[in-house]
């Protein structure tokens, strides 16, 4: 698995296509009721220090399968106000947790963050599971804060401190006649510079 910076037009375009799908954007909120993001908006976000956006790939391919992001990064307060993810190719669902874990390692290690916040809609069980697998702590509920198809839903609030984070390791690769080793993953953040605000 690799986390790739959102710095190529083709990656920005595919991420914008994922975000344009109702099955994805209904769980997100980018302020003022905006759900999806255009390619232009993503390009601008990728260039600002407030966001770290990364496309992730599976272990055996360079095919983009999802997007993970830290948003509302405040380096002076050592925090990110939002973590979010979008799975572009649903059959690769198992990779989302590892991609978010690697992004958190980058945020806590390279950016020096001390805390990351996240939220999810109360009915989004898959996102709740991701946050719980990553040791995020439930810290509260915002009632009737998110709207989908004209109906109100609650948002569940979570946070994670740097001292609580443990990166999920890559799976072992079993090769006949060889000692199993962890899948290689170069630190993609050194190559270029990773919101489950509602995954």
Domain of residue 27, CATH code: 3.40.630.30
What's the total number of domains in the chain?
1
Q: In sequence order, what E strands does 7-150 have?
A: 52-56, 66-74, 79-87, 115-121, 137-148
CB-CB neighbours of 40 under 10 Å: 10
Residue 47 included in any domain: yes
Residue 199 lies in a domain: no
pTM for this prediction: 0.83
Measured CA to CA, the distance from residue 51 to residue 15 in angstroms comes to 15
pLDDT tens by residue, the chain, 199 residues: 999 999 999 999 999 999 999 889 899 888 766 667 889 989 999 999 999 999 999 999 999 999 999 999 999 999 999 999 999 998 998 899 999 999 999 999 999 999 999 999 999 999 999 999 999 999 999 999 999 999 999 999 999 999 999 999 988 755 455 455 454 443 333 222 233 444 4
Q: Assess if residue 197 is contained within a domain.
A: no
Q: Which domain, by its residues, includes 166?
A: 3-192
The C-alpha atoms of residue 193 and residue 1 are separated, in whole angstroms, by 17
| 99 lies in some domain | yes
Helices (H) and strands (E) in the chain, counts: 6, 9
At 108, give phi and psi (nearest 5°). Answer: -75, -40
């Amino acid at each position: 698995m690799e986390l790739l910076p959102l710095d190529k037009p083709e990656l920005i375009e595919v991420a914008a296509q994922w975000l344009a799908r109702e099955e994805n954007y209904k769980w997100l909120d980018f302020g003022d009721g905006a759900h999806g993001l255009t390619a232009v908006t993503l390009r601008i976000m990728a260039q600002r220090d407030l966001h770290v956006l990364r496309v992730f790939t599976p272990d055996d391919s360079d095919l983009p399968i999802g997007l993970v992001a830290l948003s509302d990064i405040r380096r002076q307060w050592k925090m990110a106000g939002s973590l979010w993810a979008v799975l572009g190719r649903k059959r690769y669902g198992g990779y989302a947790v590892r991609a978010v874990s690697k992004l958190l390692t980058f945020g806590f290690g390279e950016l020096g963050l001390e805390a990351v916040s996240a939220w999810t809609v109360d009915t989004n069980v898959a996102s709740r599971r991701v946050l719980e697998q990553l040791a995020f702590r439930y810290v509260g509920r915002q009632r009737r804060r998110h709207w989908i198809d004209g109906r109100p839903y609650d948002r569940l609030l979570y946070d994670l401190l740097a001292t609580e984070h443990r990166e999920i390791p890559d799976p072992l690769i079993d090769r006949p006649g060889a000692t199993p080793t962890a899948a290689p993953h170069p630190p993609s953040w050194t190559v270029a510079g990773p919101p489950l605000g509602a995954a």
